[in-house]
A and B are shown apart, each in its own frame.
Chain A
Amino acid sequence: MVTGKGEKIIEINNLQKSFGTFVALRGVSLNVRKGERIVICGPSGSGKSTLIRCINRLEVPDSGSIVVDGVALSDDVKAIEGIRRQVGMVFQQFNLFPHLTVLENCTLAQIWVAKRSQKAAEETAQHYLERVHIPEQMHKYPGQLSGGQQQRVAIARALCMEPKVMLYDEPTSALDPEMIAEVLDVMVEFAESGMTTVCVTHEMGFARKVADCMIFMDEGKIVEASDPNTFFTKPKSERTKLFLNQILEH
């Protein structure tokens, strides 16, 4: 197993974020190195989504700093757009564009953001659609696909921009059980090919297989961060133990 010992690609320092009076993040710090695979888990409302949405600034933190690939996130729109190019994101609800075909979903940003030719964009799209095992659905619309297929297209769409980091926010939580495996398989494949990955998930099988580092969050804080072996066999905190017992029982 490769333990990512590359340079830092994401540096998060003392991140704070409130929604009104509710504090969602209370000082979170986290470093991600190139090639590292991080899995974040924790109870509902613990701030996992908020944390990873701050990384590509879908959420604006109140204080603290985030540096992605050497660029500090600020209100500078150009810097934000630049970072979003380097960071791919996969959502729980897929968020495919329903008015575009699968192929067009994958070429849209390549053409308008990466300024590739349509031909080159289509070739890249085909390549990644093959790797997520749905080349034959290329000319269908998202509404014609199953949930698992849609999520795999969403993964391909993000990968087409050739990002340096992939963020997944509970990518399998909206799927029927029989479709979870097909999406996880694809994720494992890309994680093992060396893609830097930050994934929020409760799929512990997936976590055991790919994670270099497990993070447990509760009440807006990182409670525990360790390698998967320590994490699953002898977690330090009582809360982690409790949480693991709860989800592993099911």
Chain B
Amino acid sequence: MYTELLKLCGFEPDEIKRERPRVDRAFAKLGLDEEDFRRGEWRLKEYLDIELLGLRKFLGIWMRELVNLVLAREEHDKIVYSDFPMELRPLMSMMLSTDEKEVYFGVPGQIINMTMGQIFDKITPYIEVGEESGMPPGAAHCALYQTRLGAMVKGVIPFPDLSVIASYHCDQPAEAEELLHEVYGVPVAYLDSCSDPNWGDWPKFNDSRVRYCSSQASRMFRMFEEIIGCQMTEEAIRTANRSNAIFRLTFQALIELIGHADPQPISQASLAHAFFLNSMPTRDIEGKQQALEILAEEVKQRVERGEGILEKGAPGVFCTATISVDPSITRMIERTGLAIRIQIPNWLSPWVLTKHPYREWSDMIGVGPCLDIPHSCEAHCLINLENCKAFNVDGAINFYPYSCREWVPTVIITKRMIEKELGIPVLVLEGDCYDTRNYSAGQLRTRVETFAELVKAHKAAKAA
């Protein structure tokens, strides 16, 4: 039933055979049927550059994680969850300090989004249960957290023995986890920081902010060790740090290659599967790195051959729509003739890569929120602007997720900054990265098409 689908997701025939009993059990629990598999196949072919082996390997990583997640209680003694915006390094260091057989470690919200959303378009039932379970509709709660709550309450995925959550960057994860704790008794370890730099401070940050977050990282690690019954190891920390750095640098080179290529070599919707692995812990470190390197090589070859998904000379835009549950909006934007040079902004600004003086593991975690978008609203807006400059775009689509309290304040400030400094058109689009019920590609198309005409005219006028 699902053989073809798994092949599209990079599974080899012998793996499909070997894994069939597990996949059967997981898919049955998820309520996936023939129609879903057909829809999944169609979506992969319709929206992604599915002929690329690197992408198929990424899809395989997500699909395996989905099966592991659903079967976690049957197969492991202990379960630890996290989710966005928790950084990958602390998660990986905790995960790698545990025995693979004993402890399952995952980010259920993201895994469900990237599979049940992206591939099967079947995310809504989870959101609806989340809405009935303490995160009601109409209140702009984050659908990522509604989804994971809904999946637990529905019994499709187990409740964890521990949740580790970042309470900086946005308030919602911690609010949702307090609910999980109060209503379902799940212990939660928080990584706290304060987003309090003054306007004009970016990219500076103060030591006390780092130290505070560092103290919370130590506390989180201690709680993890106590509840899971393990010891964080130096080796796990080193591996987490190194593998993360290598993946990010390779990813950085890839997005620069894509962003500067003309024509645009692959869809940004395809790249999303690699992008979200920047925050999904997996024990398959080698497989993940290998997938990225294969993808990078494939993209390089396309660029060298002058191949792409759009015509050469298409106007380029910066676009913040990285929608993890639905590739169709990104594809719709590209199909209006706009090359998305850079998204989200996932290009790391030079400041993010700057060396800092912290060497203790907890301090290195503590400095994380000071270096990038979580630094402040000002940082978020200026990084958007820098992304536009770095890729010399002709316009920007500032897609903002309904429900995201972190993102919302940056929307109009970013628009004004880009318009003022670069003199290019900016479209503000309201949508949702995690919930497809209220916003669809079809509904947004007319506005994007009109905007595309504007950008094209703007580019032509500039060239004349």
Q: Do A and B come from one complex?
A: no
List residues of B whose CB falls within 8 A of some A CB.
none
